[in-house]
Amino acid sequence: MKAARASEAVQTERGQGARAVRHVAIIMDGNGRWAKKRMLPRIAGHKKGVEAARATVRAAGELGIEVITLYAFSSENWRRPEAEVSDLMGLLRVFIRTDIDELANNGVRLRVIGDYRALAPDLVKMIDGAIARTAHNERTTLVIALNYGSQNEIVRAARALAERAKAGDLDPAAIDEAAIAGLLDTEGLPELDLLIRTSGEKRLSNFLLWQSAYAEMMFVDTLWPDFGKADLAAALDQFAQRERRFGGL
């Protein structure tokens, strides 16, 4: 009911086209460049990026977006310098510790995709607690991709189906798109409508490859720390002007 009312509000405020945007995903890129332009250490860019994430989640709720998925840490990000990875994990701890009350009080449900259980035990415990605390919220779902890689996600789904087929519990001929989608980390979420990447880069970086099959994509020049509600609203306006045919005429 809350999500329906939010969608109705968006229809009134932004028009029929925006009402169809249920699920938005963002590749939050440009923290390092933001800091470099200001001759600041990279951690300053990441801290400012957390502020942008906080503001964008608030904006998503205000604009009636049902699900917002943020690419926080990829399975490839482990290749970064150890100090930077440590800083990122520290910021994640701070975010959960300081923002969980606001998320819970504002009806935001937290969900995490990716192999987050490979993170430090204390961080896993914090994440599990935040997920449990917000599990019954309905206004907005915040999905954070942590230690996430889309190719690995698809491999895990394929392996699970292969094991079922090998055990005789599944006819390989019965494997279809729905069978695979049902084993992805995003199972149960609305289909992805819009994927945004900030900073001007134009690639998916192993993010939601399956889910992006018919998503609209927008690559904006704004560096992530400078991204805010106005940018998100502008993306929804642009989305409303696009014609989505899903392979048809």
Q: Which residues are catalytic?
A: 29, 77
In a domain, 39, yes or no: yes
pLDDT at 6 over 60: no
- Would residue 179 count as lying in a domain? no
Residue 141 in domain: yes
Which segments are annotated as binding site for substrate? 30-34, 42, 46, 74-76, 78, 80, 197, 203-205
Going by DSSP bridges, is the β-strand pair 67-74/194-197 parallel, antiparallel, or unpaired? unpaired
Residue numbering of the annotated binding site: 29-34, 42, 46, 74-76, 78, 80, 197, 203-205, 216
pTM to 2 decimal places: 0.90
216, part of any domain: yes
Domain that holds residue 39: 2-149+192-241
pLDDT recorded at residue 151:
97
Binding-site positions for Mg(2+): 29, 216
Q: Is residue 176 part of a domain?
A: no
> 249: pLDDT confidence band, cut at 50, 70 and 90?
low
State yes or no: pLDDT of 41 exceeds 70. yes
Q: In this model, does residue 175 exceed pLDDT 60?
A: yes
State residue 218's pLDDT score.
97
Residue 181 lies inside a defined structural domain of this protein: no
The b/e string for 139-175 (b: 16+ C-beta within 10 A; e otherwise) is bbbbbbbbbbbbeebeeebeeebeebeeeeebeeeee
Residues 184-228 have pLDDT tens digits of 999 999 999 999 999 999 999 999 999 999 999 999 999 999 999
For residue 129, tell me if it sits in a domain. Answer: yes
Residue 86 sits in a domain whose CATH number is: 3.40.1180.10
Q: Tell me the pLDDT band of 156, cut-offs 50, 70 and 90.
A: very high
Cα 128 from Cα 213, distance rounded (Å): 30
Q: What mean pLDDT is predicted for residues 70-96?
A: 95
Per the domain annotation, does 175 fall within a domain?
no
- pLDDT at position 3 over 60: no
Q: How many CB atoms lie within 10 A of CB 71?
A: 26
Q: How far apart are CA 218 and CA 211, in angstroms?
A: 15
Counting the structural domains of the chain, the total is: 1
